[in-house]
Amino acid sequence: MLIIFPSDHQLEYLIGKSFKDKKLYIVLQDTCQNRLKICKGIVFVNKTNEEMIADLKTKDLSVLCCHEEAVYWLLNHDSPSWRLQFNRKYMELLNKISLKSYLNVSGIPNARFTTSISEIIQYPVIAKPSIGFGSIGVRTISTPDEAEKYVREFKTMIQDSPIAPYQNQYFHNNLNYPMFEEKLEGAFFRVPIIVAKGKCEAIFPIQGITKCIKRNSEYHWEEFELNHLTENERARKINNIVDQLISSFELNNGVYVAEFIEEQNGNVFLLEFSPRKSSERINKIIQLATGVDLEIEALCFFLQCDRVIRGFEAQRTVRLRLENETSPLPDLPSIYRQVEEIDDCSLYDKKIHQKYYIIIE
């Protein structure tokens, strides 16, 4: 078994288990292996140790990706003897242009796009890099002049952004292009997904409430909410798209994440999909609202051990908000408030502890 880039929380769980009967390999993002305990049955591998990686490639291993960068690492180090949690065709679709083209062929609803300014039918549009993450470089473009300016400055913007080192390390043979999507208006949802026995067992539609403008992005979400009130029609539409993703990418039992937008007329479109668990802050919301620890659920699926919990309905509304002196806490009746530091492990905020308000109703 091979686990790539587990979080600290997942590492603590793994170190507490016994792997005497079968060996577990863990690829780490950093070189701080000396902080880990010596564990029987666990072999720690640094992501740049080519000798150990070459040895891993000769082994028959099941593979679990725990981070977006883990998928990128796998793109460069995959072995035919490894068994992935998803179909390898996904590895060819890490460029958003390729992914969206595949979604269109597969009949999965998503925003229309083009790579040519001359083909833009209506403004505003959303401009973004074809290789990127964390909404870096995502802009609202309102005029043809703004679109031309975005294209002119695109290469410099990427070189000056956190995308550059990842592009150079993992996508050196894959060019990054500006692309333009139709601007869909509606509610944004980041949705962790549990897949069991080839079907969607549970979804957690976590709504983006407020976003802020950063130097690298106009779409950095700083506040999320999981509402305890079940909205069956929205859930049904999201489930339908999730079923298509399960079929298209042959998703095995495990935890995945997707992003959707719901228009005011009720239409739901897929924005993003990744075959790995979501970030720590999203996991925190779900754990407080439902008792489900998705980081540990992902490991239990992979290790084929007893799952921790089987109930998924949110029993209360949980809101998580990035601490911001210019934005006071919303005046909501709540039974519980606290400020807590949580690892915000999107790639460009990796290993940074940020303070979040937690509000529970």
C-alpha to C-alpha distance for 321 and 280, rounded to whole angstroms:
13
Do 6 and 25 fall within a single domain? yes
| CB distance 356 to 342 below 8 Å | yes
With a CB cutoff of 8 Å and minimum separation 6, the contacts of 327 are 210, 321
Q: Is residue 219 part of a domain?
A: yes
Task: Look up the pTM and report it.
Answer: 0.87
On whether both 207 and 65 belong to a single domain, the answer is: no
Lookup: tokens for 49: 């140790």
Domain that holds residue 243: 186-360
Query: Are residues 197 and 281 located together in one domain of the fold?
Result: yes
Q: Are residues 196 and 324 located together in one domain of the fold?
A: yes
Is 239 inside a domain boundary? yes
Read off the CATH number of the domain in which 310 is found: 3.30.470.20
Please give the chain's pLDDT, 361 residues, in tens: 999 999 888 988 888 777 766 789 999 987 555 455 557 788 899 998 999 999 999 999 999 999 999 999 999 999 999 999 999 999 999 999 999 999 999 999 999 999 999 999 899 999 999 998 888 889 999 999 999 999 999 999 988 888 888 888 888 767 899 999 999 999 999 999 999 888 898 899 999 988 877 767 777 788 888 887 656 788 889 999 999 999 999 999 899 999 999 999 999 999 999 999 888 888 888 888 888 899 999 999 898 887 665 566 667 778 777 765 455 555 544 444 555 555 554 444 445 555 666 777 6
Sign of CA dihedral 215, 353, 194, 24: positive
The answer to whether residue 100 sits within a structural domain is: no
- Residue 204 and residue 175 share a domain: no
Q: What is the dihedral of CA 41, 14, 11, 71, to 10 degrees?
A: 80
Same domain flag for 215 and 127: no
Note whether 141 and 197 are same-domain residues.
no
Q: Give whole-number Cα distances, 279 to 255, 276, 293, in Å.
A: 12, 10, 12
Residue 123 lies in a domain: yes
70 and 156 housed in the same domain: no
Q: Is residue 147 part of a domain?
A: yes
On whether the CB atoms of residues 254 and 301 are closer than 8 A, the answer is yes
Q: How many domains does the chain have?
A: 3
- For residues 160 and 231, membership in a common domain is answered with no
Are 163 and 211 members of one domain?
no
Q: Distance between CA atoms of 282 and 351, rounded to whole angstroms?
A: 15
Q: Which among 97, 103, 95 is positioned nearest to 115, based on CA atoms?
A: 97
Q: Cis omega (within 30 of 0) on the bond before 205?
A: no
